[in-house]
Amino acid sequence: MRQKMAEMVHRIQDEICQVLREIDGVDYRQDEWTREEGGGGRSRVFSDGKVFEKAGVNVSIVHGTLSPQAAKSMGGGHELKGADLDFFATGISLVLHPLNPMAPTVHANYRYFERGDGNKPGSWWFGGGADLTPSYLFEEDAIHFHQILKDSCDRHDVADYDHFKQWCDDYFHIKHRGERRGLGGLFFDDINKASREDCFAFVTDCAESFLESYIPILMRRKDLPYREEHKQWQQIRRGRYVEFNLVYDRGTTFGLTTNGRIESILMSLPLTARWEYCHEVEEGSEEARLLQYLRKPKDWLDQ
């Protein structure tokens, strides 16, 4: 399974980067890196293109021994001690930040984890998900994104779209702001209640559906006209993105506490962001409309 997962995430990275290269008009920078404790990865980042301010698609395959702090950062109630602190982890992680404020940021990651030799009950699991973070709300985009994710879930008995959607809304909650980072999608962890092959098939399906879930949205929005005030609001929303990733995100914490590659871990942060003192939106504005759904998530498929 380690080899199958590694081959899958490298294939998906190649497929996504080929599409992004065609859309953005520039090639990615690739860095292949190694980790002293074991393993490494392949990071690909787009910048200075015509569509993306910054976009990264990373693959990592790492192994070693977890520190107690790193084990705790994993969450999920994992009781790790002794030999169980030896681990293997592989996955793909991507974040795309478009230039146009009408085009949404998107994040996705799919991963596989083993502790020890992976043979004990509960010693392996899959996790991942995808979520959409717009600055301006287009309901048809939210519906399309969630429908593709639900379709992937519906093809696999191990998946539960409603549960994973709620999990996503709960996970990407910026508690100190009382709002979600975006319009959600899927989030799941500790997927191991079926066979390894069945769980792998579900995660593969999700990863393969990424382009279908996002690229049609991007193509509709990337060339829409916008004004400077739209760009400023996008910068403020990106500030919220930074707050979540640095304060709450378990993946960021895990990477930093396992001596991961800093540039790859922080690749998810936007190139630019903005924090205005006591910023308020105008009642009845498009910005206020978005905040309504960030504060109270909606079931986008219940129309």
pLDDT tens per residue across span 248-279 = 998 898 888 877 788 988 989 999 999 999 99
Kindly report, residue by residue over 41-95, the tens digit of the pLDDT: 999 999 989 999 999 999 999 998 877 666 665 544 455 555 567 889 999 999 9
What's the CA gap between 137 and 286, in Å, rounded?
7
Q: What is the fold of 2-295?
A: oxygen-dependent coproporphyrinogen oxidase (3.40.1500)
Q: How far is CA 298 from CA 129, 136, 301, in A?
A: 18, 15, 9
pLDDT at residue number 24: 96
pLDDT at residue number 25: 93
What's the CA gap between 206 and 108, in Å, rounded?
10
Residue 245 scores a pLDDT above 50: yes
pLDDT at residue number 71: 65
pLDDT at residue number 9: 98
Structure-block tokens of residue 10: 């490298």
What's the CA gap between 210 and 198, in Å, rounded?
19
pLDDT at residue number 74: 56
Q: What are phi and psi of 4, to 5 degrees?
A: -65, -40
Write down the catalytic residue from 10, 97, 107, 176. 107
What's the CA gap between 14 and 16, in Å, rounded?
6
What's the CA gap between 1 and 5, in Å, rounded?
6
CB contact set of 30 (below 8 Å; sequence gap of 6+): 42, 43, 44
pLDDT at residue number 66: 76
What's the CA gap between 82 and 149, in Å, rounded?
38
Residue 124 scores a pLDDT above 50: yes
pLDDT at residue number 117: 77
Residue type, 49: G
Residue-averaged pLDDT of the chain: 92
pLDDT at residue number 75: 46
Q: What is the mean pLDDT of residues 30-36?
A: 92
- Residue 107 a catalytic site member: yes
What's the CA gap between 48 and 210, in Å, rounded?
23
Split at pLDDT 50, 70, 90, the class of 162 is: very high
pLDDT at residue number 98: 98
pLDDT at residue number 67: 72
Residue 127 scores a pLDDT above 80: yes
